[in-house]
């Protein structure tokens, strides 16, 4: 119950600080702009679209990068030291306080992922049809060599849907996006606690840019495949997952590293917080 109360204090800031409204407004407008092309295309060809764009978004690295930068902004002040927190620290102590911050971080990652999933199909309601397959529209766009520029549709990668049903793809991308976001949030907290404030933003932005950098290394596949092993956001792209024999990270490696690093960094944060000088009154 103590952790829930600490989370509630942070969520109250969502009503006070306009940054949070701006972030979710940006996500909504960006997703609306990015999905309207599908609505026009469906009306022209006369076919509905299935609500399964979400697990394919990481395959469009440029589009996904601009979505994920909103997440970096959402956590830009982690571990959320404001003037109100000095009274919370005095009452609960540093370890309980940082445990509450980690719980809040996890819930924020879950909400962020759920919002992106919701917006991935919400704006397509006029031409949406629920079904358990990918549907002709998504399959056609993913198999086409160039993107449909006249409709403003971003290119989808067929490898993200190959060999998997939509539910199987969702079962991988959704929890992995929550886990990877939590991992990057922990990295931001560690950097902002132990280094100068703002360093965490730079580090996490670098991780967000890694998948986009990989797309520019198509002419040097060896270097690109090496970076895949240290690029958590690339693990969301199912077209880049394979086996060690192919030089690609496996699903087991990605899941194991994400969970293992989340646990390890969480322990490090909680066990070392007593050494940090939390000057909340100056934040």
Per-chain mean pLDDT for the chain: 85
Paired strand residues for 128: 49
pLDDT band at 282; cut points 50, 70, 90: very low
CA distance 105 to 103: 5
Assess contact for 269 and 102: CB atoms under 8 A. Answer: yes
Give the whole-angstrom CA distance, residue 276 versus residue 259: 25
Maximum C-alpha span of the chain: 63
Residue 91 structure tokens = 């009452």
Structure confidence at residue 148 as a pLDDT band (50, 70, 90):
low
Confidence check: pLDDT of 67 > 80: yes
Q: Is 93 left (phi over 0), alpha (psi -120 to 50) or beta?
A: left
pTM for the structure as a whole: 0.90
Which range scores top for mean pLDDT: 3-12, 123-132, 207-216, 223-232? 123-132
């Amino acid at each position: 119950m103590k952790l829930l109360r600490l989370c509630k204090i942070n969520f109250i800031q969502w009503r006070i600080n306009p940054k949070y409204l701006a972030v979710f407004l940006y996500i909504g407008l960006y997703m609306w702009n990015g999905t309207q092309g599908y609505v026009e295309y469906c009306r022209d060809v006369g076919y509905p679209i299935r609500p399964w764009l979400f697990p394919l978004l990481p395959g469009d690295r440029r589009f996904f990068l601009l979505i994920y930068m909103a997440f970096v902004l959402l956590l830009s002040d982690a571990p959320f030291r404001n003037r109100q927190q000095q009274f919370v620290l005095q009452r609960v102590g540093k370890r309980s306080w940082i445990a509450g911050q980690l719980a809040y971080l996890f819930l924020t990652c879950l909400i962020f992922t759920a919002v992106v999933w919701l917006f991935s199909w919400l704006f397509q309601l006029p031409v949406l049809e629920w079904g358990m397959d990918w549907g002709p529209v998504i399959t056609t766009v993913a198999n086409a060599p160039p993107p449909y520029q006249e409709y403003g549709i971003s290119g989808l990668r067929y490898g993200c849907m190959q060999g998997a049903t939509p539910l199987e793809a969702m079962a991988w991308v959704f929890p992995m996006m929550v886990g990877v976001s939590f991992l990057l949030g922990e990295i931001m907290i560690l950097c902002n606690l132990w280094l100068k404030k703002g360093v965490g933003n730079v580090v996490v932005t670098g991780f967000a840019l890694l998948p986009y950098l990989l797309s520019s290394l198509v002419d040097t596949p060896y270097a690109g495949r090496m970076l895949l092993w240290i690029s958590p956001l690339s693990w969301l792209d199912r077209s880049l997952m394979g086996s060690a024999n192919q030089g690609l990270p496996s699903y087991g490696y990605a899941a194991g590293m994400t969970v293992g690093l989340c646990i390890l960094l969480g322990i490090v944060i909680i066990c070392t917080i007593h050494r940090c000088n939390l000057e909340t009154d100056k934040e």
